[in-house]
Amino acid sequence: MVSFLVLSLAAVAAEPAAPAAKAAKAAPVFQGKIERFDPAFDQLVAADAVVEKLAEGFTWSEGPVWHEGGVVFSDVPQNTAWKWTPGKTGVDVFLKPSGLLTPQPGFREPGSNGLARDAQGRLLLCQHGERRIARYENGKFTALAERWDGKRFNSPNDLAVRKNGEIYFTDPSYGLEGVNNSKLKEIPFNGVYRLGLDGKVTLLERELNFPNGIAFSPDEKTLYVGISDGRAPRVMAYDVQADGLLAKGRVFFDALPLAKPPARGSVDGLKVDVAGNVWSSGPGGILVISPAGKLLGRINTGQPTANCNWGDDGSTLYITANMFLVRVKTLTKGNGW
């Protein structure tokens, strides 16, 4: 997904003749707030809810998923997956490397990106560097999807697991140096795909510039795809047909009107709650959108925000926002979290 480089600046030493030393730039301070745009939002987030910082210091945090009693999430540029566990201080390295197992040139973001669990609770990863969808269990990676039409994927970005076990995923070029102009790019477009139970990969959509986050509605009749196109940030919706293919693509939510200062970030990862509301990253943080496409509220992180997912009992929303991992208690629960 789109990354925003965070620079760590050391203090600048004063020259001998300088009247005063130059002050070092302070470390980023997290300041989150909850914004309410519609009364319906009050049924989703309590009036006294707060945005709580849990951890910081990452380059670009991504793809949170509740796994084995904690939140596993990616730092894509650093090729690392971290784990935050309730009751512990700080975070632990969960996987390193997480996305590029053998060092090689050509990648700007080599690590894992979107993460999910399958029906057996096993961890699924979009691995930028390996350019594949993989499963991790018992200390080993198993490749699930690496190619379409004999060509290697660009850098699989995010994924959604259907109730029947099929995996739908997006494949923009964000992991590659040069992005769409990368010499490693074998597929000339950025697609949306389905990995079937038979291991076959089917192309579902090829006309999107930067497909990114992906999630199903609770009844799985609609598939949502976040588009991180700076000129047209939006969430698309597709009808899921009986054969699993997509039809009737349309704009579900246009985020361009929100893309102005001081709001930072773009449409990126997204999830859906049990009532069908879409919780999508977008300008300003996490946008909460009704099934009818109406903006109800925003969890404003003050940061470019990558993704979110539910954990604990299914009602706590964990958010990866630039260099931070934060959380918000909600009054709903995630769909299939």
What digits encode the pLDDT tens for the residues 131-161? 999 999 999 999 999 999 999 999 999 999 9
pLDDT value, residue 102: 96
pLDDT of residue 23: 44
Q: Report pLDDT for 25.
A: 55
- Rounded distance between C-alpha atoms, residue 114 and residue 127, angstroms: 8
> End-to-end distance of the chain based on CA atoms, in angstroms?
21
pLDDT in tens, 284-331: 999 999 999 999 999 999 999 999 999 999 999 999 999 999 999 999
* Cα distance between residue 129 and residue 123, in whole Å: 17
**pLDDT computed for residue 29 by the predictor:** 84
Side chain identity, residue 235 = V
- pLDDT for residue 28: 73
Supply angle C-alpha 119, 124, 129, rounded to 5.
165
Write down the architecture of domain 33-329 according to CATH. Answer: 6 Propeller (2.120)
| Cα separation, 180 vs 183, whole angstroms | 9
Give the residues of the chain that fall short of pLDDT 70: 1-27
Looking at residue 262, its pLDDT comes to: 95
Using DSSP's 3-state secondary structure scheme, residue 39 falls into: helix
